């Protein structure tokens, strides 16, 4: 019984690590998108920046709803 329990615990730890990698990747991608939005505003591409920012906000809200 102990060996199966260790295998299950190991798998749960692996899944936790994988979830954390996805969280970090998501945060990084959203940060990059935020930078792009700022850059587009700076170079006077406001319409594109606004559209991307709306998308970024929607993605962020959906992620919050999952958690």
Residue 48 has pLDDT above 80, yes or no: yes
Distances from the Cα of 5 to the Cα of 9, 16, 53, 65, angstroms: 6, 16, 46, 32
Place of tokens 């319409």: 47
7-38: buried (b, 16+ CB within 10 Å) or exposed (e) per residue? Answer: eeeeeeeeeeeeeeeeeeeeeeeeeebeebbe
In the chain, where the domains are located: 2-66
Output the pLDDT for position 52: 97
Query: What's residue 1's pLDDT?
Result: 52
pTM of the model: 0.76
């Amino acid at each position: 019984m102990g060996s199966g329990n260790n295998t299950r615990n190991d798998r749960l730890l692996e899944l936790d690590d994988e979830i954390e990698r996805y969280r970090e990747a998501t945060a990084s991608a959203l940060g990059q998108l935020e930078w792009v939005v700022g850059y587009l505003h700076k170079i006077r591409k406001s319409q594109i920046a606004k559209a991307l920012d709306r998308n970024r906000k929607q993605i962020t809200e959906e992620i919050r709803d999952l958690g």
